[in-house]
Amino acid sequence: MVAFVTNNGFILSSAPNFRDLGGHRTAGGGTVRHGLLYRSDALHTISEPDLPVYNGLGIRQLIDLRTAHERESLPDITPEGAAYTAISVQDPTAAGANFSQALLDRERARAMFADGAAERFMFGVYRELVTDGAALTGYRDLVERAAEGPTALVFHCSAGKDRTGWGAALLLTLLGVDRAAVVADYLASNERQENTDKWMRMLSEHSGLEWEEVVPMTRVRAEYLQTSFSHIDEVYGSFDGYVFDGLGLSRATVDALRARMVA
């Protein structure tokens, strides 16, 4: 029997998708340690009332997976004592890295996202996250930083569901967490999109698209994540092939990650 840990409590009300990846059971009988790995949505939103909690988590690394445009437009609030690092996981010229800008152009938005195209767009993003050169370099960097420390570490994008979602799935799988539990953690983002919905509704109004046409980009689906795992098998032959040949991680790094993160 698999016990799903989705960390449903809200640590920060102003960043609803901020959550601890700890508590998951691993194949070796261990448990992912609490308070070492956090995933989140945008961190420019941290409110004054949330600052004492945010600063009190002992975070020592903040990893920003957003594009340069996103980072410059909405700079993070970095926790006290933490080092800030920007790690790109998308080619800045790729459609997936610039969809918010595309939504500001009505003609371009309709061509890219109308009539079911938004769903196809999302499947394409999840394939790119495991094969694009920038993604391979970026996710290798994320894993290496998690393995080397210092911890605690938080990594995030804008909604905390796609780029961050794959980062969390990668880390949890490397730690030996069961696939069903990995998917459950991923799907937990759907109940934490209050900030994203406000932003996306504003963009959809500018785009001239109906909200229903935009919805596939505002939620996660198990099929999106499965697309990444399936594409890994197609391109690299196995998850290990992706880890060691695609990402170029060393066995020593994976061992160090597990030693640090699993009790």
Q: Which of 129, 112, 127 is nearest to 204 (CA)?
A: 112
**60 and 149 Cβ atoms separated by less than 8 Å:** yes
Residues marked as catalytic: 157
Q: For residue 62, what are the β-bridge partners?
A: 84, 154
Other beta carbons within 10 angstroms of residue 125's beta carbon come to: 23
CA distance 127 to 139: 14
Other beta carbons within 10 angstroms of residue 171's beta carbon come to: 24
**20 and 31 Cβ atoms separated by less than 8 Å:** no
Encoded amino acid at 211, one letter: W
**DSSP per-residue string spanning 38-82:** EEES-SS---GGGHHHHHTT---EEEE-S-HHHHHHS---PPTTP
Say which residue the tokens 């194949």 belong to: 27
